[in-house]
Structure 1
Amino acid sequence: MSAVALTAAVTLAFTGCARDGGGGGGGREGGGEASPGITDDSITLGITTPLSGATAGPGTCTVAGLEAYMGAANADGGIEFGDGKTRQVEIDAMDDGYDPQKASANYQALKGKAFAITSGLGTPTNLAWREAANADEVPQAFVMTGDPIFSDQEESPWSLGWVPVYQNEGQAFGEALAASGEDHKVAILSQNDDYGEGYVEGFKEGIAGADNIEIVKELTYEATDTAVDAQLTELAATDADIFFNAMSITPLVISSMQRAQSIGWSPSWFLPSNTSSPSAILEPGGGAAFPGVYSVAFAKAPASPEFAEDEDVQTFLSDLKEYADYQDTPAFPHCMWSYMLGATLEQVFQSMEEPTRAEFIQRMREVEQFQAPLMLEGTYVDTTEDGQPAVSTVVVQKYNGKGYDTVEAIG
């Protein structure tokens, strides 16, 4: 997957669902000198993401969804840009194994040949080349990290995050827990970095002023740890009925669930959106053994019976098989996220009147309340608010044994 080329070309519409509508962006010829990675016929997007190692599952999805969307667009003819040119989209994806040094090396390899670098997963890996990308004025567009620094225009004028910042997710769960009206004791285990700190910060904001919620203990772990048994034993001794687990490492989430059961601790769980997959995490971890497992989402889950006949989902699964050679129903939401990302990039391309990175950045920050394919009701893409990522709206959901149901409060 080090270099994946997608071919074709089409005239596509500038409408909510992108491929279904009317005119492109007019016929004006762009006046700026073309930036690297774009010609009159094609545009190259780079990705650095984990395609091997513990996070290879979601990492692979960050490429597959984008391949699926752009592959379908290209098969229909390509994308008509705002300068009147119709272009193919090519994707050059490189494996960083969730290693910041590899991600930095990948950036150096991609910056001269990719128009923009997008979609890649990971806070430490994207942070590793953020400063360089901003200094070089290379778009770091819609990367999959919830660190707020990517959405701060003063700190990162050439960057923008895709997924809700960690604080958004943590706050949504805290507010739902406080809204239950019931007394809860909360134990917290968080990753000892910006990822974990952001989730905990947001959660505390969500429960601020709620006298029915008590945090009884907080512990951390390192992202390089292979087990957190000691922390779980200590947290279980508190008899907390809610476990706020801000954890990004898939194998650790599974082993944590198994460990909690082995020591007889059965709290309700909160999990971040990127480590809450029903089939890849909750089933092997035994999630059904707990009173409730909660997370947040903004994408329709193809495995959920609720969306079995959904038109967006059916189109997505078909595109995923045909253009990304991804035959299974995705276990990770990143496949859906990167598909939505593709639709959003199309919106940006259709408004670009010059083939330059500067024009791309300007248009990237003008997407307003766009209902991308697969988005849940009440969520949307909006890039116009400084300090917020492309997606900042989420809904709280509860695991039902197969997928998730949306809830207003947590009992």
Structure 2
Amino acid sequence: MKQSTAFGIVAATSFLALTCLACKKGGEERSETKAAVRSEAEIKIGQTMPYSGPASSYGTVGKLQAAYFKKLNAKGGVGGHKINFITVDDGYSPPKTVEQTRKLVEQEQVLLVFQPLGTAPNAAIQDYLQTKKVPQLFVATGATRWGDPEHHPWTMGFNPSYQLEGSTIAKHLMSAQSGSKIAVLYQNDDYGKDYLKGLKAGLADKAKMIVAEATYEVSDATVDSQIATLKGSGADTFVNITTPKFGAQAIRKAYDIGWKPTHYLSNVSASVGTVLTPAGLDKSVGLVTVAYYKDPTDKQWNDDPAMKEFITFMKEDYPEGSLSDSFHIYAYIAAQTMVQVLTQCGADLSRENIMKQAANLDFAPGLLLPGIRIKTSPTDFFPVEQLRLVRFDGKDWVLFGDVLSAN
């Protein structure tokens, strides 16, 4: 058994296994990338997740997915195969991610790595997994590097790209307040830089509207000083490109020092339960972000069949999870997408076929916003390329505008 710092014992006990190890066919052992299901009907899936460290609020993603696969196993698994989901803590630390991923691949012999979280942690393991030809599937980050099938055919992202999100915000900003003075706070890694690149691309020749930029490191204690500096720039618009801990700090600090800009928030920090509530709901009124899945706090979805099913799952299978935390919707949709890929694989659960099916998706999980689909192709490794704008009214994120696409 393997112990997870997030939820105790996480190995082949809680959720029966989905262990795809190489087996022999026709008297000859198949190659490492031709792993086949063993007679025990197991498929083993690995994951690294920050159950500790500066991004630990994301740990609930892995916990929910563990509960989802456990429930699926109780119903017979996928095509009769049970899932052994091994999710381990990397503390949002790239060196730790490398260490844990090597253990998953070389000791646990997982078929694939599903939803490893974080831009820097995933960048640290990408080349290793390419060399091993192990799928790095539905990476939980929106950096553009996860959608490059020509150079990294074993890696596929899941989130809408940060550049798409940044350009979407830019287009709205120019239409709503074209004379703005913009201040930007961003995480000093590929996540923040990708988003800023998209923002500037969307602004095009209006990029000079950005009058101040400030960065932070994930190891920083707070971003209070950065917020004070950005306020001092005279900016009337604030683009907040942060992860949850720092997102909540930025919202709260801006309000407390009397800075009341038009405030755009990155989608990865848009959870009412995890970010806005700690920051203060009253301090979050008027925030604008993008969305692609339904918000569990939004009453318009009370009678929605998919939301009812999700709430039942939460109450029965993950009762410790908050229904106000939109990360749970995200985690649920990602798990459904993983199951869709495995279902499409049929009897061929080789690593090559896993990637082939992941690159041939076209379906709409019920918790996506209307008009948005998960769609991929052999040349398009971005599953979600449509967004909606939403504004926080003090209780809920309220949709406005049309579905916006990458095209």
- Partners of 2:147 and 2:155 within 8 A in 1: yes
Equivalent residues in 2 for 1:183-202, closer than 5 Å: 183-202=179-198
Structure 2 CA distance for aligned equivalents of residues 322 and 36 of structure 1: 34
Match of 1:6, as an amino acid? F
Structure 1 CA distance for aligned equivalents of residues 333 and 78 of structure 2: 16
Equivalent residues in 2 for 1:27-106, closer than 5 Å: 33=30, 35=34, 38-40=37-39, 41-61=41-61, 63-80=62-79, 86-106=80-100
Equivalent residues in 2 for 1:266-277, closer than 5 Å: 266-277=260-271
Mark the CA change 1:198 to 1:8 in structure 2 (over 3 Å): closer, same or farther.
Answer: closer
- Partner in structure 2 of residue 151 of structure 1: 147
- Partner in structure 1 of residue 212 of structure 2: 217
> Structure 1 residue 256 and structure 2 residue 263: aligned?
no
How far residue 75 of structure 1 moved from its aligned partner, in angstroms, is 2.6
Per-residue CA distance 1:249-302 (angstroms, 9 max, x = gap): x23222222222232111121111111212221122135336620111111111
Mark the CA change 1:45 to 1:300 in structure 2 (over 3 Å): closer, same or farther.
Answer: same
- Partner in structure 2 of residue 175 of structure 1: 171
- Partner in structure 2 of residue 401 of structure 1: 394
Structure 2 CA distance for aligned equivalents of residues 246 and 154 of structure 1: 29
- Partner in structure 2 of residue 241 of structure 1: 236
How far residue 330 of structure 1 moved from its aligned partner, in angstroms, is 4.7
- Partners of 1:37 and 1:44 within 8 A in 2: no
Q: Identify unmatched segments of 5+ residues in structure 1.
A: 10-30, 81-85
Per-residue CA distance 1:176-219 (angstroms, 9 max, x = gap): 112225532211111121111111111122222569x8222222
SS at match of 1:329: coil
- Partners of 1:68 and 1:320 within 8 A in 2: no
Structure 2 CA distance for aligned equivalents of residues 65 and 313 of structure 1: 15
- Partner in structure 2 of residue 6 of structure 1: 15
Per-residue CA distance 1:30-56 (angstroms, 9 max, x = gap): x99485584241211111111122322
SS at match of 1:135: helix
SS at match of 2:211: strand
How far residue 343 of structure 1 moved from its aligned partner, in angstroms, is 1.7
Q: Normalising by structure 2, what TM-score?
A: 0.86
- Partners of 1:166 and 1:202 within 8 A in 2: yes
Match of 1:49, as an amino acid? M
Mark the CA change 1:56 to 1:367 in structure 2 (over 3 Å): closer, same or farther.
Answer: same
Mark the CA change 1:338 to 1:325 in structure 2 (over 3 Å): closer, same or farther.
Answer: same
SS at match of 2:156: strand
Q: Identify unmatched segments of 5+ residues in structure 2.
A: 1-6, 19-27, 403-407
How far residue 324 of structure 1 moved from its aligned partner, in angstroms, is 3.9
- Partner in structure 2 of residue 16 of structure 1: none
How far residue 362 of structure 1 moved from its aligned partner, in angstroms, is 1.2
Equivalent residues in 2 for 1:310-321, closer than 5 Å: 310-321=304-315
Structure 1 CA distance for aligned equivalents of residues 58 and 307 of structure 2: 18
Structure 2 CA distance for aligned equivalents of residues 232 and 387 of structure 1: 37
Per-residue CA distance 1:221-249 (angstroms, 9 max, x = gap): 2222112233222211233221001112x
Mark the CA change 1:32 to 1:387 in structure 2 (over 3 Å): closer, same or farther.
Answer: farther
> Structure 1 residue 338 and structure 2 residue 337: aligned?
no
SS at match of 2:58: helix
Per-residue CA distance 1:109-156 (angstroms, 9 max, x = gap): 111421111012111111111110000001111110111112101221
SS at match of 1:208: helix
- Partner in structure 2 of residue 23 of structure 1: none
Structure 2 CA distance for aligned equivalents of residues 238 and 206 of structure 1: 22
Structure 2 CA distance for aligned equivalents of residues 106 and 48 of structure 1: 7
- Partner in structure 2 of residue 26 of structure 1: none
Structure 1 CA distance for aligned equivalents of residues 238 and 228 of structure 2: 12
How far residue 377 of structure 1 moved from its aligned partner, in angstroms, is 1.3
Structure 1 CA distance for aligned equivalents of residues 378 and 174 of structure 2: 27
- Partners of 2:119 and 2:143 within 8 A in 1: yes
Ranges of 4+ aligned residues in structure 1 off by more than 6 Å: none
- Partners of 2:58 and 2:327 within 8 A in 1: yes
- Partners of 1:8 and 1:77 within 8 A in 2: no
- Partners of 1:367 and 1:383 within 8 A in 2: yes
- Partners of 1:38 and 1:115 within 8 A in 2: no
Identity of aligned residues (%): 28
- Partner in structure 2 of residue 391 of structure 1: 384
Structure 2 CA distance for aligned equivalents of residues 358 and 367 of structure 1: 15
Match of 2:376, as an amino acid? T
Mark the CA change 1:109 to 1:35 in structure 2 (over 3 Å): closer, same or farther.
Answer: farther
- Partner in structure 2 of residue 373 of structure 1: 366
Mark the CA change 1:144 to 1:42 in structure 2 (over 3 Å): closer, same or farther.
Answer: same
**Structure with the greater relative contact order (CA < 8 A, sep ≥ 6): 1 or 2?**
1
SS at match of 2:401: coil
- Partners of 1:32 and 1:354 within 8 A in 2: no
Structure 2 CA distance for aligned equivalents of residues 56 and 221 of structure 1: 17
Residue 160 of structure 1 is aligned with which of 150, 156, 162?
Answer: 156
- Partners of 1:176 and 1:408 within 8 A in 2: no
